[in-house]
């Protein structure tokens, strides 16, 4: 009994000690302590969130017979396309964020893609015209300028730092879902550095469960200080509605595009590493003697490129850039893309089991070969294709293997023979009828002689494809 009593006293003493260390519950002392409201955050940030209306003119086509001039002459111009046919405006709706008092608006590229006219609906109900300053399809971002009167200024949102965002942070999504009007939804940061979403070239997204729906694209994801931390861009959904999985472009990526638009740039220039990279799989990790898959493997280095100058070698394992861990090529590309050309980046690498530090001077991809752009017009499967000579700069723009050389298709007219033949931007043309193609002028000359059949060899997605196309 004595032992049991002593043990019971000890338990009581321990419970008393533990209780003393915990804060005691109490009744809220004021109305402010009872209420929890995001109203101050919304009041600070919502005036800078706008609606973006992208308008595209389309002519109604009453009858395909009017494509024939004979029928147009016989029946007159009634209903003929381009000759009195009724016009229809196709309108797509998105959101945007004002980031400069002069009226600069950042939104998604896909919101304003192919728009003939863009209008901005402000928080105060006014509608104003806007023009595109910079489009960047690779990040799915665009910067617009509101056409203002005089020196009018607009409310802006403060840019935050997406590198300081943590999983579990509360976030608000502000936009115009389904065109119902400005709407605020609340959630948390569900994940960071999502690199397999398949949305844009620079895969590095903030994931949130704040409801994001059609029309929210280009809207703001803000933190509890009312600062912009991301541009809402996509959702994962099987029904078209929100399932609690939304993705936002980190504001640190948007900041690069905004700054280049402010400086008058017509295209976004990013640092070029000059190295081929590979994700480390479980098998590769085992072969390297790693306990787990981590880092980014360097498979080859361009001679004279920034990586080579810094001392990076094939077989090196890049584990961090500027103190931020990288686990796949997308993460590394994001870290480089958010830094300025002319600056430096500290790389932490592992080489032969030893940890090392290298400093890479950030350079833009060079245009070592003149583009010599040509629009192919001769009767051939290539008619309607725009071709240029390959260089690291062109390869960077078209997402082509940096080691490729020769001629690449830069653009294809949708209504051309090249489009009908299946050619796409980024296709590298190696041979035409057994003749190697080294420069654009070689291809232009090669297709001037009509052929009954065309034997071509192209590289697409790193794979060589041979085909015979009709003349």
- Check 136, 140, 176, 223 and give the catalytic one: 140
For the segment 368-380, what is each residue's pLDDT rounded down to a tens digit? 889 999 999 989 9
Which residues of the chain does CATH 2.40.10.10 include? Answer: 45-146, 162-262
Mean pLDDT, range 296-323, rounded to an integer: 92
Contact 155, 143 (CB under 8 A): no
Q: Is 100 annotated as a binding residue?
A: no
Mean pLDDT, range 64-74, rounded to an integer: 43
Q: Is 243 annotated as a binding residue?
A: no
Proportion of the chain above pLDDT 90, given as a percent:
42
- Higher-confidence residue of 41 and 398: namely 41
| Lowest model confidence (mean pLDDT) among 181-185, 296-300, 361-365, 382-386 | 181-185
Q: How many CB atoms lie within 10 A of CB 162?
A: 24
Q: What residues contact residue 39 under an 8 Å CB cut-off, 6+ apart?
A: none
Query: 110 catalytic, yes or no?
Result: yes
pLDDT at 184: 92
Helix axes 251-262, 329-337, angle to 10 degrees: 40
CATH number for region 162-262: 2.40.10.10
- Using the structure block, give the residue that is written with the tokens 């893609």: 113
**Between the CA of residue 104 and those of 101, 107, 153, what are the distances in Å?**
7, 10, 10
| Lowest model confidence (mean pLDDT) among 25-39, 174-188, 392-406 | 25-39
Query: Does residue 47 come out as left (phi exceeding 0), alpha (psi in the -120 to 50 range) or beta?
Result: alpha
State the pLDDT confidence band at 440, using cuts at 50, 70 and 90: very high
For the chain, give the mean pLDDT.
Answer: 82
Angle at Cα 210 formed by Cα 204 and Cα 213, nearest 5°? 85
Lookup: tokens for 319 = 């584990």
pTM: 0.74
Q: Is 215 annotated as a binding residue?
A: yes
**Domain spanning 271-364: which CATH class is it, in words?**
mainly beta
For the segment 85-109, what is each residue's pLDDT rounded down to a tens digit? 445 556 678 899 999 999 999 999 9
State the pLDDT confidence band at 174, using cuts at 50, 70 and 90: very high
Calpha distance 231→106 (Å, rounded) = 8
CATH number for region 45-146: 2.40.10.10
Q: Is 216 annotated as a binding residue?
A: yes
Query: 414 catalytic, yes or no?
Result: no
Is CATH 2.30.42.10 what the domain over 374-470 is classified as, yes or no? yes
Calpha distance 245→196 (Å, rounded) = 13
Angle at Cα 180 formed by Cα 52 and Cα 218, nearest 5°? 35
- Check 190, 200, 217, 242 and give the catalytic one: 217
Which residues of the chain does CATH 2.30.42.10 include? Answer: 271-364, 374-470
Q: Is 217 annotated as a binding residue?
A: yes
Query: 116 catalytic, yes or no?
Result: no
State the pLDDT confidence band at 66, using cuts at 50, 70 and 90: very low
- Higher-confidence residue of 149 and 76: namely 149
- Check 110, 328, 380, 444 and give the catalytic one: 110
The answer on pLDDT for 17 being more than 50 is no
The answer on pLDDT for 268 being more than 90 is no
Calpha distance 229→272 (Å, rounded) = 25
| Lowest model confidence (mean pLDDT) among 46-55, 260-269, 271-280, 398-407 | 398-407
- Using the structure block, give the residue that is written with the tokens 């991301």: 230
Q: What residues contact residue 309 under an 8 Å CB cut-off, 6+ apart?
A: 360, 361
């Amino acid at each position: 009994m004595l032992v049991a009593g002593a043990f019971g006293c000890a338990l009581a003493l321990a419970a008393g000690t533990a209780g003393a260390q915990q804060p005691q519950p109490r009744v809220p002392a004021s109305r402010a302590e009872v209420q929890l409201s995001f109203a101050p955050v919304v009041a600070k940030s919502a005036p800078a969130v706008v609606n973006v209306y992208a308008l595209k003119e389309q002519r109604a086509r009453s009858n395909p017979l009017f494509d024939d001039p004979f029928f147009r002459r016989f029946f007159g111009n009634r209903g003929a396309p381009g000759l009195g046919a009724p016009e229809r405006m196709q309108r797509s709706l998105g959101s945007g964020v004002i980031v400069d008092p002069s009226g600069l608006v950042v939104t998604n590229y896909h919101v304003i893609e192919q728009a003939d006219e863009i209008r901005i609906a402000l928080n105060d109900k006014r509608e104003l015209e806007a023009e595109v300053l910079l489009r960047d399809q690779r990040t799915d971002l665009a910067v617009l300028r509101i056409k203002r009167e005089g020196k009018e200024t607009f409310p802006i949102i403060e840019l935050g730092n997406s590198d300081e965002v943590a999983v579990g942070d509360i976030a608000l999504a502000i936009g115009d879902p389904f065109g119902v009007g400005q709407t605020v939804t609340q959630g948390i940061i569900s994940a960071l550095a999502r690199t397999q979403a398949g949305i844009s070239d620079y895969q590095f997204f903030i994931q949130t469960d704040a409801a994001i729906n059609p029309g929210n694209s280009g809207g703001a994801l803000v933190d509890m200080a009312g600062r912009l931390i991301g541009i809402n861009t996509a959702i994962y959904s099987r029904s078209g509605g929100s399932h609690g999985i939304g993705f936002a472009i980190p504001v640190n990526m948007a900041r690069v595009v905004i700054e280049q638009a402010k400086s008058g740039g017509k295209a976004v220039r990013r640092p070029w590493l000059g190295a081929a990279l590979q994700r480390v799989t479980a098998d590769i990790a085992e072969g390297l003697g790693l306990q787990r898959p981590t880092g980014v493997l360097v498979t080859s280095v361009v001679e004279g490129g920034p990586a080579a100058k810094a001392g990076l070698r094939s077989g090196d394992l890049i584990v961090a850039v500027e103190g931020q861990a990288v686990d796949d090529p997308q993460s590394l590309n994001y870290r480089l893309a958010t830094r300025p050309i002319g600056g430096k980046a500290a790389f932490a690498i592992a080489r032969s089991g030893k940890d090392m530090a290298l400093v890479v001077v950030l350079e833009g991809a060079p245009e070592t070969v003149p583009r010599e752009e040509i629009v192919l017009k001769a009767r051939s499967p290539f008619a309607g294709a725009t071709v240029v000579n390959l260089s690291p700069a062109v390869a960077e723009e078209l997402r082509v293997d940096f080691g490729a050389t020769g001629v690449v298709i830069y653009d294809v007219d949708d209504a051309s023979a090249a489009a009908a033949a299946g050619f796409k931007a980024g296709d590298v043309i190696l041979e035409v009828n057994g003749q190697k193609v080294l420069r654009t002028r070689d291809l232009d000359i090669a297709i001037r002689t009509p052929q009954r059949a065309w034997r071509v060899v192209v590289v697409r997605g790193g794979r060589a494809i041979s085909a015979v196309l009709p003349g």
